[in-house]
Amino acid sequence: MIVDNYDVIVIGAGHAGVEAALATARLGGKTLLATLSMDNIAFMPCNPSVGGSAKGHLVREIDALGGQMGLAADEACIQMRLLNTGKGYAVHALRAQADKPVYHIIMKQVLENQENLDVKQLMIDKLLVENGQVVGVEAETGEIFTASCVILATGTYLRGRIVYGEVSYNSGPNGLRSSMKLTQSLQECGLELMRFKTGTPARIDARSIDYSKMVPQFGDAQVRNFSFISKITTRKQVPCFLTYTNNETHKIIRDNLSRSAMFNGNIEGVGPRYCPSIEAKIVRFADKDRHQLFLEPEGLRTNEVYVQGMSSSLPAEVQLKFMQTIPGLEKCKMMRAGYAIEYDCLDPLQLTAALEHKGISGLFSAGQSNGTSGYEEAAAQGLMAGINAMQKINGNKPFILGRSDAYIGVLIDDLVTKGTHEPYRMMTSRAEYRLLLRQDNADLRLTEKGRAVGLVDDERYSAFVDKRSLLERTLADLAKINIAPNEENQKKILNMGTVALRSSTSLIELLRREEVSYVKLAEAFDLPPLPKVVAEQIEVQIKYEGYIAKQRLEVARALKLESKLIPENIDYREIKELSAESAEKMQKVKPTSIGQASRISGVSPADIGVLMVYLEVNRRKGQGI
């Protein structure tokens, strides 16, 4: 029973599905967003936060391209902090505590009022494919919806199974239904699936916590926003609280390890290395006598508190017992037990850099269904999958961000080139050009690109152009203004906390000094005041100019390898000089360039040399040389 025809169907309305559906609808595509529950849209099943180290970069990039996550996070924020301020600008990152129910409501309202978008509560059981082309989906009701493109954004719901202690049942997060039939359909279509797991800690009642025994963690006094167009200038903030486990906590956990689903063989999925359960921490870091925990409110209108750092799959009574050994939690009441969840996901090596399946035209995938972890990683992929679905429908080239363009480019390239054997988490260390990919300049890097694909509207683009013009004009003025080392100027300079001049110099040279800020310079030499974000951008560009120039040279060298394209029809198994391992891996990944081939795990520099010689010989044969 064919009910309706769409340009794009998005399966799943988590953070990936939301961004994908909004992108396709805003780009003019008639879109269906199918969700297991209308009450689960953009839900945060784990921590009530957005951003953090590297993840904050992703949120700002999503925003610069015209996505929604940054705007919603700003509006739902109940505490904002800029992390890593003791380190360089490259790793500064915003992190917001979000009001979990409010974030869901905001996103649900945006989706329901988006032109070209239908949101329906549906269980999708089957992917419909004909002659290597996706043609639609079938719901459990028997309803069929046809489409040119389908985007999988199934999160942790594919054959999702909740496990803690001896308890085990089929379910998605928070007791919602899991998708039990779609896995079989995907496998019948030839997709290769993996089994991963993740976990979440207990939620406890705020009224049962003694906060006087904990260390408060306050938000920043300066109001900041993820979105470059947010107009929020004041914000009510609430504190989080820090406490620690102890030897008594650890003893209870060790004594019950045999009852943990992670250790008793009740879980087959692979878990995230960088977000381990409390059981894994106790075993892996046996020499540590304590581990820090953060008590994070789930919202302003709920008493639920998230115990960050206490993910567990132990029985509920054991979870309560060990929590009550922790300072401030002696009388805590558990509202929800922590649990592990295992689920099916795609091997991302099956995808192109556009997040399209290599064997099924029109099938895209994004988010945890690609083996990643985190709301931000999911949203970034969803945005890119949505853009590329519409690029395909409109007959345009895929929209691909390189590793030197954005953290989003690093994320996707890592997935489709290296694959992942555990839930992938974005980290600043994964980006080799992170000095260029700062969170403060995401708009300068990506807004023009978002405008070109059609997602950046006039209001956002006008604000961006005004900011960029002010930045360029101020930099030019600072370079032109020279000051002499006379008595008046020397006094001003000394008052700024820096050494006196030896000769005439420009203000731009003076601003290169570590102790000199634009604010100090403006006060001393009567310069026009600037918005804080522009002043910060100017300081970063000037103070780090040498390092930035060096990284740009590295990018230019790397791009030479990216420009050496590899024909799509090449059979690496026919290149006898390649090692068997490299031939097998390149045949699976099918890299589009020498640069991508060089990043495949297990491919040696010698094999890259063999490949380049092979391509050059074939090129000469083709030209009759």
Given a cut of 60, whether residue 520 has pLDDT beyond it is yes
In a domain, 191, yes or no: no
**194-206 per-position pLDDT tens digit:** 999 999 999 999 9
Q: Are residues 465 and 516 in the same domain?
A: yes
Q: Are residues 533 and 497 in the same domain?
A: yes
- The 10 Å Cβ neighbour count of residue 479 is 13
Token pair listed for 54: 């590297």
In a domain, 82, yes or no: no
Please report how many Cα atoms fall inside a 13 Å half-sphere around the Cα of residue 496, on the Cβ side: 25
Q: Which residues contact 616 (CB under 8 A, 6 or more apart)?
A: none
For residue 625, what pLDDT band results from cuts at 50, 70 and 90? very low
Domain with residue 213: its CATH number is: 2.40.30.260
In a domain, 361, yes or no: no
Q: Are residues 336 and 214 in the same domain?
A: yes
Given a cut of 60, whether residue 18 has pLDDT beyond it is yes
Alpha helices by DSSP H, listed for 415-514, are 442-453, 458-480, 487-495, 507-511
In a domain, 546, yes or no: yes
Last-in-domain residue among 298, 315, 340 = 340
Mean pLDDT, the chain, whole residue set: 95
Q: Are residues 214 and 325 in the same domain?
A: yes
Q: Are residues 484 and 541 in the same domain?
A: yes
Last-in-domain residue among 309, 340, 371 = 340
Checking DSSP bridges between strand 117-121 and strand 482-483, what pairing results, if any? unpaired
In a domain, 60, yes or no: no
**254-287 per-position pLDDT tens digit:** 999 999 987 777 777 787 777 789 998 999 899 9
Indicate the helix (H) or strand (E) that contains 129. strand 124-130
| pTM confidence score | 0.95
Q: Are residues 246 and 320 in the same domain?
A: yes
In a domain, 99, yes or no: no
Last-in-domain residue among 506, 527, 551 = 551
Amino acid 241: pLDDT: 98
**440-487 per-position pLDDT tens digit:** 999 999 999 999 999 999 999 999 999 999 999 999 999 999 999 999
Amino acid 131: pLDDT: 96
**199-248 per-position pLDDT tens digit:** 999 999 999 999 999 999 999 999 999 999 999 999 999 999 999 999 99
Q: Are residues 547 and 567 in the same domain?
A: no
**How many angstroms separate the Cα of 610 from the Cα of each of 572, 591, 597, 617?**
11, 15, 12, 11
Q: Are residues 224 and 314 in the same domain?
A: yes
**114-132 per-position pLDDT tens digit:** 999 999 999 999 999 999 9
Q: Are residues 538 and 587 in the same domain?
A: no
**35-70 per-position pLDDT tens digit:** 999 999 999 999 999 999 999 999 999 999 999 999
Domain with residue 521: its CATH number is: 1.10.10.1800
Q: Are residues 214 and 319 in the same domain?
A: yes
Domain with residue 589: its CATH number is: 1.10.150.570
**How many angstroms separate the Cα of 453 from the Cα of each of 59, 226, 399, 439?**
19, 22, 8, 22
Q: Are residues 481 and 529 in the same domain?
A: yes
**91-105 per-position pLDDT tens digit:** 999 999 999 999 999
Amino acid 623: pLDDT: 60
Determine contact, residues 28/455, Cβ cutoff 8 Å.
no
Rounded mean pLDDT, 392-397: 98
Domains: count for the chain? 3
Amino acid 262: pLDDT: 74
Q: Is 506 left (phi over 0), alpha (psi -120 to 50) or beta?
A: beta
Amino acid 1: pLDDT: 84
Q: Are residues 534 and 608 in the same domain?
A: no
Parent domain of 527: 458-551
In a domain, 217, yes or no: yes
DSSP string, 105-119: HHHHHHHHT-TTEEE
- The 10 Å Cβ neighbour count of residue 618 is 12
In a domain, 27, yes or no: no
Given a cut of 70, whether residue 530 has pLDDT beyond it is yes
- The 10 Å Cβ neighbour count of residue 317 is 12
